[in-house]
């Protein structure tokens, strides 16, 4: 095990210090090419292939990343397997220190990470800077603290790590999803092979640099880039013990089939179609602000986005008017500008998907309202869009759009809205806006969703478990519950 001075100089506020907008690309020193991070080294892919990572706001190429073949996956899994024996036997407090060090280094490189996240994925710099990066650091801090306290988490039980965790993440919160995956795996003594999404691999490669600099023993974390076939090779590798996946319900189902009959364990965080419910007694201005944040945050590329709004009939007109007025004030544009509220759509494929659903909504007969903002002349942008007069059975109310598109329906009674809110294949999250505690209690017990927010939305904290009901997946990430899926509890 590498020797290192574990004394850490505390500097907790570095994630909050930033230069004025617009952020400059040159502040992020993106390398022209990234190799695979395997066994504590950056290695050229056996496939010899690379693909481009681009900026969806401009179409410009940012870098090249390696395209891992099954042989590259095998190499990474072997490295993780070799590292498992000593990593899992390391005193738990030592594991905690390594994770703590990663957290600190994420903070130290916060500005750069935020800029790269925004360049690679298209999200507003304000979000990368104030949400993605600090929340990722917090996740590492939180699980660093758990490493030597597992016996308190699971009293009277022996908590043994599973082995090699294969982790596959999406493009909507690339660094944060990497933190959600890696931190609990390491705290519990597992080793990791992680694959970021094809369109947003760069912050994962920066995290690989951090892990190298943090002196983690070689092979404990391996980060490999590639497309869906690389993900499939991880899932199908016989020496992987656990799959942690966040992405679409379609791919989640493919993974479930692939591991059926094997001894692999899985955690699946899949799609969503969250109901956000406004009662007539709610503070309407606050609720409208929460609705806007719930659907337009990260261009709506959020699995728990509040994409279905239900408004009690008596306040429908008032809420609609306030919503339209508010949407007109949103700034859509350059993701690097700190005033931007809605950035670029992550990829051409996702852009086409959202535009397809907007056409479907129009053809289904719903009323569309779009912000009249001026969009940048190049890049992938869609103005904030709301549909009213939406039927519960319509496709735009049932299917995940994963973009800045909100559907609006009205309701009269609690029972009616509970029935409508629960009436999709998904069950990831929901929101309730009301002045009455009794309504909050009634709805949180009856809504079939893994997370129900009351008078707020899209609030995350490492201490809170997150995960789905129904086709939104199973297993929990975050909090104490996020540790158990990485352990054999005997």
Binding pattern to Mg ion, positions 64-103, x when CB under 5 A?
----------------------------------------
- Give the separation between CA 476 and CA 479, rounded to whole angstroms: 9
- Of residues 394-413, which lie at the interface with ligand NAP (CB under 6 A)? 400, 402
DSSP codes joined into one string, 56-79? TTT--EEEEEE---HHHHHHHHHH
- Give the separation between CA 453 and CA 272, rounded to whole angstroms: 15
Coil vs helix vs strand at 129: helix
Binding pattern to ligand NAP, positions 318-357, x when CB under 6 A?
-----------------------------------x----
- Give the separation between CA 397 and CA 58, rounded to whole angstroms: 31
| H helix or E strand, kind and range, residue 384 | none
Q: How far is the CB of 121 from Mg ion (least distance, A)?
A: 6
Coil vs helix vs strand at 342: strand
Q: Binds 188, which of Mg ion, ligand NAP, none (CB < 5 to 8 A, cut-off by type)? A: none
- Of residues 120-179, which lie at the interface with ligand NAP (CB under 6 A)? 168-172
DSSP codes joined into one string, 430-482? EEEE-S-HHHHHHHHHHS--SEEEES--S---TTS-B--EETTEES-BSTGGG
Q: How many CB atoms lie within 10 A of CB 135?
A: 18
Q: How far is the CB of 276 from Mg ion (least distance, A)?
A: 29
Q: Which two three-digit tokens encode residue 424?
A: 């999709």
- 386 burial class (0-12, 13-18, 19+ CB within 10 angstroms)? buried
Give yes or no for residue 49 binding ligand NAP (CB under 6 A).
Answer: no
- Of residues 431-470, which lie at the interface with ligand NAP (CB under 6 A)? none
- 238 burial class (0-12, 13-18, 19+ CB within 10 angstroms)? exposed
Give yes or no for residue 35 binding ligand NAP (CB under 6 A).
Answer: no
Give yes or no for residue 198 binding Mg ion (CB under 5 A).
Answer: no
Of 105, 204, 240, 270, the one binding ligand NAP (CB under 6 A) is 270
Nearer to ligand NAP, 349 or 374 (CB): 349
Give yes or no for residue 269 binding ligand NAP (CB under 6 A).
Answer: yes
Closest to 446 in 3D by CA, of 269, 268, 275: 275
List, by residue number, the catalytic residues.
269, 303
Contact predicate 375/332, CB 8 Å? yes
Of 19, 93, 227, 489, the one binding ligand NAP (CB under 6 A) is 227
Q: Binds 232, which of ligand NAP, Mg ion, none (CB < 5 to 8 A, cut-off by type)? A: ligand NAP
Window of 51-59, 73-81, 290-298, 403-411 that interacts with Mg ion by CB under 5 A:
51-59
Binding pattern to ligand NAP, positions 233-262, x when CB under 6 A?
--x----------xxx--x--xx-------
Binding site for ligand NAP (CB under 6 A): 168-172, 195, 197-198, 227-228, 231-232, 235, 246-248, 251, 254-255, 269-271, 303, 353, 400, 402
Binding site for Mg ion (CB under 5 A): 53, 120, 199
């Amino acid at each position: 095990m590498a020797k290192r001075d574990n004394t850490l100089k505390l500097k907790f506020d570095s994630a909050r210090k930033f230069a004025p907008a617009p952020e400059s690309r040159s502040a992020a020193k993106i390398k022209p090419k990234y190799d695979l991070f395997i066994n504590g080294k950056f290695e050229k892919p056996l496939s010899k292939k690379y693909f481009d990572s681009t900026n969806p706001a401009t179409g410009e190429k940012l870098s090249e990343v390696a395209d891992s073949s099954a042989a590259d996956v095998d190499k990474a899994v072997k490295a993780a397997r070799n590292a498992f024996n000593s990593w899992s036997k390391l005193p738990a407090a030592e594991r905690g220190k390594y994770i703590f060090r990663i957290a600190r280094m994420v903070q130290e490189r916060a500005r750069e990470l935020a800029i790269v996240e925004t360049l690679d994925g298209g999200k507003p710099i304000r979000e990368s800077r104030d949400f993605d990066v600090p929340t990722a650091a917090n996740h590492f801090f939180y699980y660093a603290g758990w490493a030597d306290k597992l016996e308190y988490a699971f009293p009277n039980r022996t908590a043994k790590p599973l082995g090699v965790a294969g982790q596959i993440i999406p493009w909507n919160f690339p660094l944060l999803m990497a933190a959600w995956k890696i931190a609990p795996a390491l705290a519990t003594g597992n080793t990791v092979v992680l694959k970021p999404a094809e369109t947003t691999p760069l912050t994962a490669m920066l995290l690989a640099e951090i892990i190298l600099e943090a002196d983690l023993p070689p092979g404990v974390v391996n980060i490999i880039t590639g497309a869906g076939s690389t993900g499939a090779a991880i899932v199908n590798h016989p020496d992987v013990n656990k799959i942690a996946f966040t992405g679409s319900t379609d791919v989640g189902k493919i993974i479930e089939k692939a591991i059926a009959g094997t001894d692999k364990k899985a955690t699946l965080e899949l799609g969503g179609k969250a109901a956000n419910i406004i009662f007539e007694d709610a503070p309407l201005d606050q609720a409208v602000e929460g609705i806007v944040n719930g659907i337009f945050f990260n261009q709506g590329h959020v699995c728990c986005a509040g994409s279905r709004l239900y408004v009690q009939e008596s306040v429908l007109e008032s809420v609609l008017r306030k919503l339209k007025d508010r949407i007109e004030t949103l700034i859509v544009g350059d993701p690097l500008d700190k005033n931007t509220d809605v950035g670029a759509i992550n990829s051409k494929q996702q852009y086409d998907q959202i535009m397809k659903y907007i056409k479907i909504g129009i053809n289904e007969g719903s009323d569309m309202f779009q912000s009249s903002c001026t969009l940048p002349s190049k890049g992938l942008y869609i103005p904030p869009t709301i549909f009213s007069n939406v039927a519960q059975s319509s496709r735009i109310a049932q299917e995940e759009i994963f973009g800045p598109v909100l559907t609006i329906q009205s309701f009269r009674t609690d029972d009616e809205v509970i029935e409508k809110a629960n009436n999709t294949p998904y069950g990831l999250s929901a929101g309730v806006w009301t002045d009455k505690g009794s309504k909050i209690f009634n709805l949180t017990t009856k809504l079939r969703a893994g997370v129900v927010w009351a008078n707020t939305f899209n609030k995350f904290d490492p201490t809170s478990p997150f995960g789905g009901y129904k086709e939104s997946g199973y297993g929990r990430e975050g909090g104490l519950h996020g540790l158990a899926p990485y352990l054999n509890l005997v």
